[in-house]
Amino acid sequence: MRPDIGIIGGSGFYEFLSDSETVHVETPFGKPSAAISIGAVGGRLVAFIPRHGKNHEFAPHRVNFRANLWALRSLGVRQVLAPCAVGALAAERGPGDLVVPDQVVDRTWGREHTVYGEEGPVVHISFAEPYCPRLRAAYLQAAAGLPVSGTGTLVVINGPRFSTKAESLWHRSIGGTVVGMTGMPEAALARELAMCYATICLVTDHDAGVDGQEAVNHADVLQEFGKNIGKLKELIRKVVAVIPEPEHDAWARCSCRRVLDGMKLPFELP
């Protein structure tokens, strides 16, 4: 059996499956961040990979996003849940709150942003709606009763430094809801591989300049994330339980899965 659901763990989220098989995957883009764990969650087979490595050895700009997504797809994954830690850009959202964004602003640079491009033909994908609506709905269904916002814009900065106050206020002025360092190019690469993808953001702090916040401290971010990791893992288990099976018509018709239909690709996908 092959897992159809993949989970990418963010900062502080390095383990998920208690009874699992470890799989090492080689990709055309090098090694993934870590070996992939495969196990059952509520009767569904899932694959888990820690985005930053088992010991947080990869800074955001050094994560091999292409290898991570390619490895998951090669194992059978077509639906990806990608929780992450973020800072809030609005005073009304605070530590412990959850945001399921529907839009993203990419401010990263120097990262490998596509699995295509080394040779023709050129592949242009639709990315107007960057997150899978079905997976977003599953997050919101599972998070009923929790402090969760069902819309918002994730601003992704390059890191590893945090924003200046001026940058933070600018991000808010252009419509940003939360800010993080790992949401791109991860979401776009998943779309290039015709995988359904959505993130849920756990707020760990207010970004610099928001609600009197002077500076963001990494140790404080990890401490806040650690306080909520149990809640987040339980939420992810509930999301897995409500995601339709691959044979379901809603999944078969999903625009994420059909995004490459009719395109000529430079190589065959795994």
Specify whether the CB–CB gap between 199 and 86 falls below 8 A.
no
Burial 119-137 (b: 16+ CB within 10 A, else e): eeeeeebeeeebbbebbbb
Residue in 207, 211, 249, 261 annotated catalytic: 207
- Dihedral angle over CA of 217, 91, 134, 111, nearest 10: -40
- Can you read off the two tokens belonging to residue 46? 């899932």
Region of residue 27 (left: phi > 0; alpha: psi -120 to 50; beta: else): beta
Active site includes 102? no
Q: Nearest 5 degrees, angle CA 66-CA 72-CA 73? A: 90
Residue in 205, 211, 249, 261 annotated catalytic: 205
Q: Which residues pair with 22 in a beta bridge?
A: 37
Active site includes 205? yes
DSSP letter string, 212-231 = T-----HHHHHHHHHHHHHH
- Can you read off the two tokens belonging to residue 194? 């015709």
d(CA 166, CA 185): 24
Q: How buried is residue 81: exposed, middle or buried, by Cβ count under 10 Å (0-12/13-18/19+)?
A: buried
Catalytic residues: 205, 207
